[in-house]
Amino acid sequence: MLPEDLRYSCQVALPGFGEAAQAQLKAARVLVVGAGGLGCPAAQYLVAAGIGNIGIADFDVVSISNLHRQILYTEADLGLKKAIIAYAKLQTQNPHITLIAHNIKISSQNVMEIIEQYDIVVDGTDNFDTKYLLNDACVLAGKPLVYGAIYQYEGQVAVWNVLNTDGLRTPNYRDLFPEVDALQIPNCAEGGVIPTLAGIIGCMQANEVIKLITNTGEILAGKVLIFDAQTMQSRIIKLGTTTQTHITALTTSVAIPSISVAALKQNMDAYELVDVRTIEEHKAFNIGGRHVPVSDIDNLDLNNNTATILYCASGKRSAEAVKRIISKHPSAIIFSLEGGLKAWQEAG
C-alpha cells in the first residue's frame, strides 16, 4: 500500500465507502469561496479527505480579530492575503492534491468563469451580496452550492441547487430568502460569534461536500439545518423538493467607493465623518463626526462640498449604507471606511 493510500485508509474502510468513493473524491473539483471562519475548517477537512482539486477564493487579508475563529492563521500571518496563506498551508497539509489560490474578489464580472472550473461550490462568505451572487451563478451554471452561515450562537447549513432525478433542481437560497435588507442585519464583527460555531458549521459543510461527491448519506438538499451552539440542539426546516424561483441573469456587482484607514489619517480634515453604528456603540467609542445610524441612513443630509466617509465596526454596515445612498444619489461623493474601527484600532 502506498503512503497516499495509507493516508485515507480509515475512510476507505467505512461501510459503503471503499476505494471507489475515494477515487471519486480524488477526481472531484471543489471551490471554497471565503477563507475565513467557515472556509478554514471546511477547506482543511476537504484537503484531509483527499479532494483532488480545491480552489480557495478570497481577496481579504488576515487581521487580528480573525484569529479567534479562523484557525488556519497565526499572528505571523497578519496583513497577508488569506488566499495565498491558506493555499500554502493547505498544500503542506496534503501534498498529494492540487490547490489553486484565487486571490480575487468574486464579482458578477468573474464569477461564472471561476466556478466553471469546479463541480461544487462551498459558500464560506459573510456578506449577503456575495451569497446571492454565488447562489445565482450556481443556478445558472447548474452547480450545487453548499451554504453555511453563522451569527452569535446559531449556524445554518444547506445544499442548494442539486439535480433531482426528474431533471429539476432543488431549492436555492432565494427560495428561503428572496431578498434581505443587509442594513438591518449585523454581521459577526458587530453582533459577535462564538468561535467553535465556525468550526462546527464549516465541518458540516465539508461533510455535505463529501456526501455529494460520493453519493453517500442523506444530503441537506431542499432543507436547512439550524444549529444552536448553546443548547447543542439542531432542527431541520424542509423547503420542498423543487425550486420555485426563476433566475435568468446575474445582478451586476456594484463597486462601493471606499477609503483606507491610512488615507483617512493622512488628511482627517478633508472629510466629513458619519458614524452609522448604534447610539450605544457611538457613545462607547468613536472617531468623531456625526452620528446617523443605518436605520436612519435614508435621511442623511449630504454635504455637496465635502466628501463624506461613513464608518462602523468592521466596514460592512457602512459599505451597505454607501451602496444604498449611491443607488438614490449616484453623484454623491461618499466613501466607506475599509475595515471600520477594527482596522482603525489595529493601525494604532
Task: For residue range 266-284, list pLDDT tens digits in order.
Answer: 999 899 999 999 999 999 9
Is the pLDDT at 63 greater than 80? The verdict is yes
Give pLDDT, residue 5. Answer: 80
Task: Give domain status of residue 243, yes or no.
Answer: no
Do both 80 and 15 map to the same domain? Answer: yes
Q: Which of 10, 40, 188, 203 is catalytic?
A: 188
Do both 213 and 335 map to the same domain? Answer: no
Please give the tally of structural domains in the chain.
2
Q: Which of 10, 40, 203, 312 is catalytic?
A: 312
Alpha-carbon gap, residue 241 to 168, rounded angstroms? 9
Strand spans (E) along the chain: 29-33, 53-57, 98-102, 120-123, 145-151, 154-160, 223-228, 233-238, 258-259, 271-275, 290-291, 307-311, 334-337
Do both 224 and 295 map to the same domain? Answer: no
Task: Give domain status of residue 208, yes or no.
Answer: yes
User: Within a 13 Å sphere around the CA of 170, how many CA atoms are in the beta-carbon half?
Assistant: 22
pTM for the predicted model, two decimal places: 0.88
309 three-class SS: strand
**Catalytic residue status for 312:** yes
Q: Domain of 298: which CATH number?
A: 3.40.250.10
**Catalytic residue status for 138:** no
Q: Give the model confidence (pLDDT) of 115-130 as tens digits.
A: 999 999 999 999 899 9
Task: Give domain status of residue 245, yes or no.
Answer: no
CB 243 within 8 A of CB 161: yes
Angle in degrees, CA 214, 220, 226, rounded to 5: 140
Do both 315 and 221 map to the same domain? Answer: no
Q: Which of 203, 238, 273 is the last residue of a domain?
A: 238
Task: Give domain status of residue 246, yes or no.
Answer: no
Angle in degrees, CA 243, 158, 40, rounded to 5: 140
Q: Which of 180, 149, 183 is nearest to 277 (CA)?
A: 183
Stretch 211-225: mean pLDDT? 97
Task: Give domain status of residue 253, yes or no.
Answer: no
Do both 286 and 170 map to the same domain? Answer: no
DSSP summary character for residue 255: P
User: Within a 13 Å sphere around the CA of 133, how many CA atoms are in the beta-carbon half?
Assistant: 22
Residue 93: which H helix or E strand, with range?
helix 82-93
Res. 325 pLDDT band, cuts 50 70 90: very high
Q: Give the model confidence (pLDDT) of 197-209 as tens digits.
A: 999 999 999 999 9
Is the pLDDT at 98 greater than 70? The verdict is yes
Task: Give domain status of residue 141, yes or no.
Answer: yes
Give pLDDT, residue 121. Answer: 98
Do both 282 and 328 map to the same domain? Answer: yes
Give pLDDT, residue 213. Answer: 98
Angle in degrees, CA 42, 151, 129, rounded to 5: 75
Do both 106 and 171 map to the same domain? Answer: yes
What order do you get walking across the sheet with 53-57 strand by strand? 98-102, 53-57, 29-33, 120-123, 145-151, 154-160, 223-228, 233-238
Q: Give the model confidence (pLDDT) of 129-185 as tens digits.
A: 999 999 999 999 999 999 999 999 999 999 999 999 999 999 999 999 998 766 556
Do both 154 and 271 map to the same domain? Answer: no
Do both 127 and 221 map to the same domain? Answer: yes
Q: Where is average pLDDT lowest: 2-16, 212-226, 266-280?
A: 2-16
Do both 113 and 179 map to the same domain? Answer: yes
Q: What's the domain range around 186?
A: 3-238
210 three-class SS: helix
DSSP string, 143-196: --EEEEEEEBTEEEEEEESPBPTTS-B---HHHH-S---GGGS--HHHH-B-HH
Do both 212 and 294 map to the same domain? Answer: no
Q: Show the cell assigned to 220.
A: 441537506
Task: Give domain status of residue 251, yes or no.
Answer: no
Do both 64 and 210 map to the same domain? Answer: yes
Residue 88, C-beta contacts closer than 8 angstroms, at least 6 positions apart: none
Location of C-alpha cell 451586476: 252
- The pLDDT mean for the chain works out to 93
CB 5 within 8 A of CB 43: no
Task: Give domain status of residue 231, yes or no.
Answer: yes
Q: Show the cell assigned to 343.
A: 482596522
Alpha-carbon gap, residue 207 to 293, rounded angstroms? 40
Q: Domain of 29: which CATH number?
A: 3.40.50.720
Q: pLDDT above 90 covers what percent of the chain?
A: 81
